[in-house]
Amino acid sequence: MAGAAGFDARMVRIPDRGDMFFSPQTPTTYFIENVSVGVKTGDKWTFFDPSTPYLEPGMLRWQEEGTQALVSDPKEGFFAATQYSSPDRSKRIRRATLKLLDDGTLDGVVSYQYTGHVAQPQKLGYQDQTAAQQEQDWKESLQNRLSTAEMSDFKMQNQDDPAKPLIVGHHVKVPGYAVRTGKRILFQPAFFERNAGRTFTETARKWDLYFPYGWTEDDEVTIELPDGWDLDQPTAPASSHFGDTGEYVVDLRKTTDGRKLIYTRRFEWGKAQNLLIPAANYAQVKKIFDFVEAQDNFNLSLKQAANAK
């Protein structure tokens, strides 16, 4: 189709960086088995993979991004760099509107949107499942993180559409989400990161660290506070920027009436294709992720209002 439209379109071979790191200095076809399509616009080549299910238009599999493709030519083939999808192409967008009860129960509705490299494997996994199986799979995943969670009104959209984000929504009730200790209620505003676990637990690493692709997490959680309770000297978690690789930005604010808390969180990683981290720098990366996870586990305290009975 691209050729019929007047573009220079050719078959290309692309290595799989999920298997090994390819060098054009050793151009053995054994190491570049994947076949895709290259289209030249101006002086730039862009590559497309029409055969991989649920791959977002304009994206390659992450294993084929940011590497060297062998472009076919009647005289002599040549290598050209494949595109790399920035972290904002692969997003987890999560929203929650919740109410905290004075017995520690959290109740409300949540929604999730997934795009790019985050969405594709999930759509692939759901393609052979019935609606009931999809709901059960999601429920088990939720309860692995929040064991007391109750889920209802489950809906999933676009699981068979590669061009649209995967969307999931449901009602959730979590008894015992907050802890009541005497005249205080303690709770974690980062609902989507509650009990998420640590990313890196080892103190040292022998081999280099490799992230498959960049991604962005974009959260907003609105929590209505229980009647008769106020925030007790609230402070916000800390934000940080990680050079050219990523950033972590959080914000915490109250609505004008003081009855709702709005928590926002944005974590971006893998900018400028900074995915391969030497083993010597592992401690620095671990420190970054430990910092993020510590801020995610930040707790707020509520105290009974002065006029509460």
Tell me whether residue 36 is in a domain.
yes
In a domain, 309, yes or no: no
Nearest to 264 by CA among 95, 88, 73: 95
Considering the domain architecture, whether residues 229 and 94 belong to the same structural domain is answered as: yes
- Are both 209 and 110 inside the same structural domain? yes
The residue written with tokens 């391969």 in the block is 276
Indicate whether 56 belongs to any domain: yes
142 with 45, same domain: the answer is no
Q: Are residues 162 and 249 in the same domain?
A: yes
Identify the burial level of 259 via C-beta atoms within 10 angstroms of its C-beta, where 0-12 means exposed, 13-18 middle and 19 or more buried. middle
Q: Do 46 and 98 belong together in one domain?
A: no
pLDDT tens for each residue of 181-230: 888 999 999 999 999 999 999 999 999 999 999 999 999 999 999 999 99
Q: Is residue 101 part of a domain?
A: yes
Q: Pick from 45, 66, 81: which residue ends a domain?
A: 81
Please state the domain count of the chain. Answer: 2
- Each residue's pLDDT, cut to its tens digit, for the chain (309 residues) gives 655 556 789 999 999 999 888 888 877 777 888 899 999 988 899 999 988 999 998 899 999 999 999 999 888 889 999 999 999 999 999 999 999 999 999 999 999 999 999 999 999 999 999 999 999 999 999 999 999 999 999 999 999 999 999 999 999 999 999 999 888 999 999 999 999 999 999 999 999 999 999 999 999 999 999 999 999 877 889 999 999 999 999 999 999 988 999 999 999 999 999 999 999 999 999 999 999 999 999 999 999 876 655
Same domain, 113 and 74: no
- Answer yes or no: is 103 within a domain: yes
Half-sphere exposure of 236 (CA within 13 A, CB side): 14
Query: What pLDDT sits at residue 164?
Result: 96
26 in any annotated domain: yes
**pTM, two decimal places:** 0.92
Do 30 and 106 reside in the same domain of the chain? no
Final residue before a domain boundary, out of 34, 60, 81: 81
Domain boundary among 38, 57, 81: 81
CATH of the domain at 234: 2.60.120.1130
| 159 & 185 share domain | yes
On whether both 109 and 199 belong to a single domain, the answer is yes
DSSP helix/strand/coil, 123: helix
Has residue 2 been placed in a domain? no
CA–CA dist 157, 165 (Å, integer): 8
Q: Per DSSP, what are the bridge partners of residue 35?
A: 13
Q: Fill in the amino acid letter for 295.
A: Q
Residue 248, C-beta contacts closer than 8 angstroms, at least 6 positions apart: 239, 240, 241, 242, 265, 266, 267, 268, 291, 292, 295
Determine the structural domain holding residue 259 and report its residue range. Answer: 87-304
Q: Are residues 236 and 161 in the same domain?
A: yes
* Backbone phi, psi, residue 158, to 5°: 65, 20
